Amino acid sequence: MRFVKAIWHLLVGIKDALVLLFMLMFFGLLYAALSVRPEAVGDGVLAMDLDGVLVEQAERPDPLSTLAGTGNVTREFELRELVAALDAAKDDDRVKAVALDLDGFLGGGQTAISALGEKLDEVKKSGKPVVAFATGYTDDRYQLASHASEVWLPAMGAIAIAGPGGNNLYFKGLLDKLGVTANIYRVGTYKSAVEPFMRSDMSPEARENAQALGDALLETWKEDIARARPASVAGLGRMLADPVGVSKAAGGDLAKAAVDLKLVDKIGERRDYEARLAELGGKDNKGPQPYKRIKLAAYEDEAIDRSEGPIGVITIAGEIVDGKAGPGRAGGETISRLIDKGLAKDNLKALIVRIDSPGGSALAAERIRQSLLGAKKAKIPVVVSMGNVAASGGYWVSTPGDYVFAEPSTITGSIGVFGVLPSFEGTLAKLGVGADGIKTTPLSGEPDLLKGPSDAADALIQAGVEQVYRKFLTIVADARHKSPADVDRIAQGRVWDGGSARQLGLVDGFGGMNEAVAKAAELAKLGEDERGLTYLTEEPSFADTLFADVAGDETSDDQAPADALATLAPAPESLLARAITEVRSILNGPTIQARCLECPPSAVAPRLSADDRGWLARMLGV
């Protein structure tokens, strides 16, 4: 009994210590949050240190991960907030110039970068310099920097433009070694999302589609840079055609080559770049930088218009998933409720659907579509604005639009459906483990992941996939005023760039959010002074705000890679993480998915295990 009492007292002591520790952490964070005062914005240079990725909608930090120090450390900058800051900056006498520090910029898609670049162009037209600096310019970094009035590069820096392309991982050989069978169900000649599980290389059809898409994206990338920096056109062509020859012609001096080709304006170190900013915005002898610096976060807080207007905006960003999900991930239930809640207020006259999603659950996409159809039934016009990606399930949710905008660099289409079920009969055989049992009906114990799905289960799942594909075709045909046969010819899972999509009739016109707002106002017969926006989103809780302050602290000491090659090369761990994320999201998601593999990956949080519903209900996501 003494031993039991001792163990009990030990457990109680551990519990009390943990409670005390979490209380101290909570009140420490609470004190830190309450101690933060809104930072006054003075005059100087608006410092856009974009150390992270540009996104349509930023994820909120997970409280437990933040406390444990295991949360996502990649900062996310919302396009809408950056656009608002630049919109204000061009007419703000306090802002003398804009500084683009791109050493830590991880990209964000051609369409989003082009939209941000247009705002930088407006700042330049207002007479304010935009100065960009990076140790190494990648495709995305240079696309954004080309909109600056001055592009700086250190003497040991480099520009390395790779263009769209790269490799995907294929797991067929690994699955064979492990004895895992990937049971594939799909419709669509070009639906390549399942190929990594059934091949060791790219199929000719997938290669054809990917090559056409990559070539189109390269052209739109070059066109954006040509508009922003016409003097660089010839040099950029030489760099793309013969990068080794360009290097040799400059004696191996990559920075000199960039200047000779008119890709950059100045060769200078960071201290020279900061001295130039001090010339433009004034000197600061007290701060860590020698120039007067307007912090981006503080300026955004001032610039963002939080008033509400008659045009609602619902954002569908990230993977489309069943149920509820926070910002940065499109939960079918969450998005649907936000739309229904916005419509219930009875003050919306039009609705804009902003999409940046490669798709996901077909059932969740249909859940969102039904709510958008509810807006149309209420005689509220629906205008769709596509961002970087609106493919597969992302295109599914665009179909209720009365008018659909895309950009030439938007990735869309991918009208196809697939499903993957892993089974482990080969693995068990390798381990010498058998599996056996009884059946009372042809579907008892199906799909059997130990011995492999039966022929009956295979047939039923394939029928479900084909049924969803037929519905997809019908939805698109009705929306685009085509026959299902016409849609099928341009569907089959094929991915299109925005320019091709417009020619095929999958979208109505080119444009971004400004054009979408104008069209929504036109359809709703709103005047020029009635174009205010109401963003349909969940307000962050106190805990969200608290942990966002901790996770997004701008005083982080993390440094960007110090040399050009380190900044240009993708981190191996990020490539591996992407591959793991793709596999998990496909295998852990609903069996029937409308998703685009060729589209940029979205961050996906681990999903909970399936509940105890029937297997067919789980597969169809109902």
Break the chain into its structural domains and give their ranges: 44-165+211-303, 311-434+441-538
Give the contacts of 325 (CB within 8 A, at least 6 positions apart).
318, 331, 334
Number of residues assigned to the chain? 622
List, for residues 161-217, the tens digit of each pLDDT value: 888 888 888 889 988 999 999 898 888 776 677 888 888 999 898 899 889 999 999
Between 22-26, 56-60, 312-316, the lowest mean confidence (pLDDT) is in 22-26
Mean pLDDT of the chain, nearest integer? 84
List, for residues 11-53, the tens digit of each pLDDT value: 667 766 666 766 666 656 555 555 555 566 788 999 999 999 9
Rounded Cα distance, 475 and 478, in Å: 5
Overall average pLDDT of the 373-378 stretch: 94
Rounded Cα distance, 326 and 322, in Å: 12
pLDDT of residue 306: 82
Most distant CA atoms of the chain, gap in Å: 87
For residue 606, pLDDT beyond 50: no
Q: In what order do the strands lie in the sheet with 359-361?
A: 181-187, 417-423, 593-595, 359-361, 320-321, 330-331
pLDDT of residue 168: 82
- The position carrying tokens 């079918």 is 332
Rounded Cα distance, 110 and 498, in Å: 12
Overall average pLDDT of the 529-549 stretch: 71
Rounded Cα distance, 605 and 183, in Å: 24
Who wins on pLDDT, 31 or 2?
A: 2
pLDDT of residue 165: 86
Residue 323 backbone class (left: φ over 0; alpha: ψ -120 to 50; beta: rest): left
For residue 453, pLDDT beyond 80: yes
Overall average pLDDT of the 540-557 stretch: 50
Tokens in use for 369? 């579509």
Selection from 338, 619, 321, 353 nearest residue 479 by Cα:
353
Report CA 301 to chain centroid distance, whole Å: 23
Q: Which 3 state secondary structure label does DSSP give 463?
A: helix
Tokens in use for 63? 């409280």
Q: What positions carry a catalytic annotation?
A: 191, 392
Who wins on pLDDT, 289 or 561?
A: 289
Rounded Cα distance, 143 and 117, in Å: 8
Give the contacts of 138 (CB within 8 A, at least 6 positions apart).
107, 160, 161, 162, 567, 568
pLDDT of residue 621: 37
List, for residues 236-256, the tens digit of each pLDDT value: 999 999 999 998 998 889 999
pLDDT of residue 557: 43
Tokens in use for 394? 């992302």
CA dihedral 330, 356, 552, 312 (to 10 degrees): -70
Class of domain 311-434+441-538: alpha beta
Residue 325 CB burial class (10 angstroms; 0-12, 13-18, ≥19): buried
Rounded Cα distance, 48 and 283, in Å: 18
pLDDT of residue 609: 38
pLDDT category of residue 136 using cuts at 50, 70 and 90: very high
Residue 450 CB burial class (10 angstroms; 0-12, 13-18, ≥19): middle
Overall average pLDDT of the 384-410 stretch: 96
Rounded Cα distance, 431 and 186, in Å: 31
Rounded Cα distance, 414 and 382, in Å: 22
Overall average pLDDT of the 299-324 stretch: 91
pLDDT of residue 598: 65
pLDDT of residue 613: 40
Rounded Cα distance, 133 and 101, in Å: 5
CATH topology agreement for domains 44-165+211-303 and 311-434+441-538: yes
Rounded Cα distance, 67 and 81, in Å: 26
Q: What is the 3-state secondary structure (H, E, C) of 124-141?
A: HHCCCCEEEECCEECHHH
Handedness of CA 502, 508, 509, 512 (dihedral sign): negative
Between 26-40, 72-86, 100-114, 393-407, the lowest mean confidence (pLDDT) is in 26-40
pLDDT category of residue 574 using cuts at 50, 70 and 90: low
Rounded Cα distance, 606 and 70, in Å: 14
Q: How far apart are the first and last CA of the chain?
A: 53
pTM of the model: 0.85
pLDDT category of residue 284 using cuts at 50, 70 and 90: confident
pLDDT category of residue 610 using cuts at 50, 70 and 90: very low
Tokens in use for 498? 């925005």
pLDDT of residue 379: 94
pLDDT category of residue 576 using cuts at 50, 70 and 90: low
Overall average pLDDT of the 280-290 stretch: 85
**What percent of the chain lies above the pLDDT cut of 90?**
58
For residue 263, pLDDT beyond 90: yes
Overall average pLDDT of the 469-477 stretch: 95
CATH of domain 44-165+211-303: 3.90.226.10
Half-sphere exposure for 136 (CA within 13 Å, toward CB): 18
Beta bridge partners of 44: 95
Between 15-19, 442-446, 531-535, the lowest mean confidence (pLDDT) is in 15-19
Residue 485: Cβ within 10 Å count: 9
pLDDT of residue 166: 82
Distances in whole angstroms, Cα of residue 121 to Cα of each of 51, 229, 509? 21, 10, 23
Give the contacts of 92 (CB within 8 A, at least 6 positions apart).
none
pLDDT of residue 622: 33
Selection from 588, 360, 592 nearest residue 460 by Cα:
592
Helix (H) or strand (E) holding 566: helix 564-568
